[in-house]
Chain A
Amino acid sequence: MQLNSSRSAPYLFLAPFVLSFLIFGAYPIIRSMILSLYITSGPEAQQFVGLDNYLHLLQDPDFWTAFRNTATFAIGSVALQLPLSLGLAILLNRSDMRGRNVFRFIFFSPNLMGLVFSALLFMLILAPKFGLLNASLHALFGLPSTTRWLSTPELVMPALIMVALWLYTGFNMVYFLAALQSVDGELYEAATIDGAGRWSQFWHVTLPGIKPVLIFVVVLSTIGSFQLFELAYLLLGNGSGPDQAGLTIVMYLYQNGFLGGDLGYAAAIGWTLAGMVLILSMIQLRLTGAGKEGR
């Protein structure tokens, strides 16, 4: 056994991963760029059209509907989920908190249901007449039990946002709670001695302490929300909902590429989505990063 066997070892260890990464990670990325320059009909027939796919996309009213819907969902769910998750995490992080693990488990439990099965469940919960939501609203507040959440265009996105809220709030809370628990307790004691009240402790100790995680969760949630597909597709009975009210970017990609057979157009939609997500993440990182560094 030669001493320098440790020199070739890392390459050997990485080989399986890198090899499959090249075939099923790197190659599809490059291929997808090329594909987006073609009009295709299934995987066999294709014709080069340059940037036409992208140009067409920009004038495609359905794409813009999908974009509007997706953006509404992303803004709505990030804006509601994250403050709620953070709030719950702060409540659970109190030093005299009893039953922290029980609450953490309860809040996390919707996540165990998983996206697909939650969607199937909520399809019935949101159903008019016998659905749990309408029945509850009727029992508690006397509201009519006929609200058609998933077939009224204006209610589709609020319903999706609500389900996502149920599904992901606890998940994000776990991150925030872990971040809060990693903030040095002595900082709070020092701040108390310095005369900081609860509110200024939050601004000057808590927020800076969890900032990396906060940014991480904000960016990831946004990226995730922009890829909305399963929830909408399943809840709306494998369609885009009334008046396309539930059409999302990925759903549009799926419809074009795999129901319509134009893989090229699907690739172009994919890259447009990637571009949007990238720009958005940059903006978020810039805002959060630069905004705090100055202080």
Chain B
Amino acid sequence: MADIAFRGVNKIYPNGFQAVHHLDIEIRDGEFLVMVGPSGCGKSTTLRMLAGLEEISSGDLLIAGQRVNDLHPQARNIAMVFQSYALYPHKTVQGNIEFPLRMAKVPAAEVKARALKVARMLELEPLLKRKPGLLSGGQRQRVAMARALVRDPVAFLMDEPLSNLDAKLRVQMRAEIAALQRRTGTTTVYVTHDQVEAMTMGDRVAVFKDGYLQQIDTPQQLFERPVNTFVGSFIGSPSMNLIAARIEPSDDGLAMTLAGERIALGHGLEVRFNTPGGAADLVAQIGLRPEDVVDPHLAEEGQRLHGRVVLTELLGREQMVYLDLRDGVQVVARLHADHRLHSGEDIAIGIDPTRLYLFQADGRALTYRQVPKG
């Protein structure tokens, strides 16, 4: 067991493409860290550098305080579960589980005992003599986990381990993996492109884009305090609406103009922005999560937007409503389905200013404090 640290790590491929830019991450002992991002964001490359499958171009990788850049994968004593599980088709389940121990020249009796223990833990005992070809997807997944567990590694690395399973099994295995990690307490680094997996499984989540680490934080912090529009819209489903806006002083604190309408922001509070120019004529982007759209009747006066319904999707108790607001702004709202809306209807939606995310024009989050007026 050990903590892991990336210190200024870069990955540049021979063709000049830089997959990872100056990465700094500290992973605590026993932590479950999820790395998430769209494909090509550098998350898998980072994992593979940690595994020792990719060379590190520059910077340091530390495991338990020791620099391991040049160590062979085995010497790092990490275990990895692959997207395709990468089980050896010619070996039985038992053969697969025992293989890492055999390669490490562990005495035969101990190999058997440890393999059996892990197989029991993962309920694989009845399957030990089978070949992987005869197993279901979930069983193969468990064999891959067992092969990783058996060597008692300092860290588990998992590269999209659930993406080959069907939706139902995925939810089940998600819980199983998380539970297993809590039980063993092994540091785990988990790569996925699925933000739901990231949010439900990770102690902390690292969001990547274009080879840069965007933000690393607890799921709740990521959701509530995204550092930029990318993280804001990547986390949460359906995605946050991003609307261009202008923030200006008004009689009642601050107000903003978006989608051709004026919304009072202050509501009796003064908002102080931590930007050099303060709040004077700030061009900004507003993040509005679909589920944060409120019933217009519950919204305060001056906190409503108007538009026309383009399309609705019924999701049982709720409905997704696609709207054209003024100035050609399009938003998605998640509304209660008590009153079903239909395309072509003109409606109003309510905005709760305290639930809005504020970003600068370049996408970085606007940090602000609300203080009592006066």
**In the bound complex, what is the Cα–Cα distance between A1 and B75 (angstroms)?**
8
Chain B residues near A1 (CB-CB < 8 A): 71-72, 74-75
> 11 more A-B contacts (CB under 8 A) besides A1-B75, A3-B69, A5-B72?
A1-B71, A1-B72, A1-B74, A2-B70, A2-B72, A3-B52, A3-B55, A3-B70, A3-B71, A3-B72, A4-B55
A-B contact list, 14 entries, CB within 8 Å: A1-B71, A1-B72, A1-B74, A1-B75, A2-B70, A2-B72, A3-B52, A3-B55, A3-B69, A3-B70, A3-B71, A3-B72, A4-B55, A5-B72
**In the bound complex, what is the Cα–Cα distance between A37 and B361 (angstroms)?**
80
Which residues from 67 to 100 on chain B have a C-beta closer than 8 Å to any C-beta of chain A? 69-72, 74-75
**In the bound complex, what is the Cα–Cα distance between A1 and B72 (angstroms)?**
6
Residue of B nearest to A1 (CB): B72
Question: Number of contact residues on B: which range applies?
Answer: under 10
Q: Which 3 A-B pairs have the closest CB atoms?
A: A1-B72, A3-B70, A3-B72
Number of interface residues of A (CB under 8 A): 5
Per-position binary interface string of chain B over residues 319-340, scored 1 when its CB falls under 8 Å from any chain A CB and 0 otherwise: 0000000000000000000000
Residue of B nearest to A7 (CB): B55
**In the bound complex, what is the Cα–Cα distance between A3 and B56 (angstroms)?**
10
**Chain A interfacial positions (CB closer than 8 Å to B):** 1-5
Which residues from 250 to 298 on chain B have a C-beta closer than 8 Å to any C-beta of chain A? none
**Chain B interfacial positions (CB closer than 8 Å to A):** 52, 55, 69-72, 74-75
Residue of B nearest to A2 (CB): B70
Chain A residues near B75 (CB-CB < 8 A): 1
Residue of A nearest to B76 (CB): A3
Chain A residues near B74 (CB-CB < 8 A): 1
Residue of A nearest to B75 (CB): A1
Chain A residues near B69 (CB-CB < 8 A): 3
How near does chain A come to B74, taking the closest CB pair, in angstroms? Answer: 7
**In the bound complex, what is the Cα–Cα distance between A281 and B219 (angstroms)?**
65
**In the bound complex, what is the Cα–Cα distance between A5 and B71 (angstroms)?**
11
**In the bound complex, what is the Cα–Cα distance between A1 and B77 (angstroms)?**
13
**In the bound complex, what is the Cα–Cα distance between A3 and B57 (angstroms)?**
13
**In the bound complex, what is the Cα–Cα distance between A3 and B74 (angstroms)?**
10
How near does chain A come to B10, taking the closest CB pair, in angstroms? Answer: 16
Chain A residues near B71 (CB-CB < 8 A): 1, 3
Chain B residues near A2 (CB-CB < 8 A): 70, 72
**In the bound complex, what is the Cα–Cα distance between A26 and B339 (angstroms)?**
82
**In the bound complex, what is the Cα–Cα distance between A4 and B71 (angstroms)?**
9
How near does chain A come to B71, taking the closest CB pair, in angstroms? Answer: 7
How near does chain B come to A97, taking the closest CB pair, in angstroms? Answer: 28
How near does chain A come to B11, taking the closest CB pair, in angstroms? Answer: 14
Q: Which of A2, A3, A4, A5 has the most CB of B within 10 A?
A: A3
**In the bound complex, what is the Cα–Cα distance between A249 and B74 (angstroms)?**
59
How near does chain A come to B70, taking the closest CB pair, in angstroms? Answer: 6
Residue of A nearest to B74 (CB): A1
**In the bound complex, what is the Cα–Cα distance between A3 and B55 (angstroms)?**
8
**In the bound complex, what is the Cα–Cα distance between A246 and B52 (angstroms)?**
65
Chain B residues near A5 (CB-CB < 8 A): 72
How near does chain A come to B224, taking the closest CB pair, in angstroms? Answer: 41
Residue of B nearest to A5 (CB): B72
How near does chain A come to B125, taking the closest CB pair, in angstroms? Answer: 34
How near does chain B come to A10, taking the closest CB pair, in angstroms? Answer: 15
How near does chain B come to A75, taking the closest CB pair, in angstroms? Answer: 47
**In the bound complex, what is the Cα–Cα distance between A2 and B69 (angstroms)?**
10
Q: Which of A1, A2, A4, A5 has the most CB of B within 10 A?
A: A1
**In the bound complex, what is the Cα–Cα distance between A2 and B74 (angstroms)?**
11
How near does chain B come to A274, taking the closest CB pair, in angstroms? Answer: 39
